Chain A
Amino acid sequence: GQQVMQIPQYQHVQEGEDFTTYCNSSTTLSNIQWYKQRPGGHPVFLIQLVKSGEVKKQKRLTFQFGEAKKNSSLHITATQTTDVGTYFCAGRQTGANNLFFGTGTRLTVIP
């Protein structure tokens, strides 16, 4: 079955440092989505990438979809304490309606 892995599993950074999480799928994806989940909360949608090689930015967050549409990355520049949480990628196979979540990267920002 489809597997979506993320690395690293955990990341501790000093406030102001950059952070990157990588997402890799065992199969080609029609699109990939990124979510953020705060402790005790539910996942909140951040962005969707559809095109091969697509890059999107949201303020300090940069999202990239690989050329082969099997991997993606999320980069945060100059982290802030409000960035704390677990970041999940979620991929959908071509023709499928269901979404498979990556293993997640838990980010801790040390003030």
Chain B
Amino acid sequence: GAVVSQHPSRVICKSGTSVKIECRSLDFQATTMFWYRQFPKQSLMLMATSNEGSKATYEQGVEKDKFLINHASLTLSTLTVTSAHPEDSSFYICSASDRERGQPQHFGDGTRLSIL
């Protein structure tokens, strides 16, 4: 079945560091990928929709200059948390679906980000 790979799985770094997370669709093309954030014992909150070849669409309250998204190819989207601070510590998960709208999303394994 479809597989989405997310890397790295865990990051621990100092405050002020920028962290890049990669999301790859391994056996299908994804014109759209999604980035979610999940705090402990809470639901997934959609941060932004990553569109191949164009600017990402950010949800209300998500700073686009803080969370940089690049979707340069049909199989890769990256999320960069710039100048991360402890409040950015969270579980970040990407998802993607085949081009056809309405297909179920397949999730990466997630990245647990801890900012000291």
Q: Are B34 and A99 in contact (CB under 8 A)?
A: yes
Task: Confirm or deny: B49 has a beta carbon within 8 angstroms of a beta carbon on chain A.
Answer: yes
Task: Confirm or deny: A1 has a beta carbon within 8 angstroms of a beta carbon on chain B.
Answer: yes
B49-101 with Cβ < 8 A to chain A:
49, 57, 60, 93, 95, 101
Q: A42–B23 Cα gap in the complex (Å)?
A: 14
Contact among B42, B57, B60, B107 for A43, CB-based, below 8 A: B107
Return chain A residues, CB-CB under 8 Å to B11.
none
Task: For the complex formed, measure the closest distance between the CB of B30 and the CB atoms of chain A, giving whole angstroms.
Answer: 11
Q: Are B46 and A98 in contact (CB under 8 A)?
A: yes
Task: For the complex formed, measure the closest distance between the CB of B57 and the CB atoms of chain A, giving whole angstroms.
Answer: 8
A61-102 with Cβ < 8 A to chain B:
88, 90, 92, 97-102
Task: Confirm or deny: A50 has a beta carbon within 8 angstroms of a beta carbon on chain B.
Answer: yes
Q: Which residue of B lies closest to A6 (CB)?
A: B43
Task: For the complex formed, measure the closest distance between the CB of A102 and the CB atoms of chain B, giving whole angstroms.
Answer: 7
Q: Are A97 and B32 in contact (CB under 8 A)?
A: yes
Q: Are A45 and B102 in contact (CB under 8 A)?
A: no
Q: Are B49 and A44 in contact (CB under 8 A)?
A: no
Q: A45–B57 Cα gap in the complex (Å)?
A: 24
Q: A98–B33 Cα gap in the complex (Å)?
A: 9
Q: Which residue of A lies closest to B32 (CB)?
A: A97
Task: For the complex formed, measure the closest distance between the CB of B50 and the CB atoms of chain A, giving whole angstroms.
Answer: 11
Q: Which residue of B lies closest to A103 (CB)?
A: B43
Task: Confirm or deny: A30 has a beta carbon within 8 angstroms of a beta carbon on chain B.
Answer: yes
Q: State the 8 A-B residue pairs at the shortest beta-carbon distance, nearest first.
A: A101-B44, A45-B104, A42-B107, A104-B43, A42-B110, A103-B43, A101-B43, A43-B107
Can you list 21 residue pairs at the A/B interface with Cβ under 8 Å? A1-B60, A42-B93, A42-B107, A42-B110, A43-B107, A45-B104, A45-B105, A48-B102, A50-B102, A88-B43, A92-B102, A97-B32, A98-B34, A98-B57, A99-B105, A101-B43, A101-B44, A101-B46, A102-B43, A103-B43, A104-B43
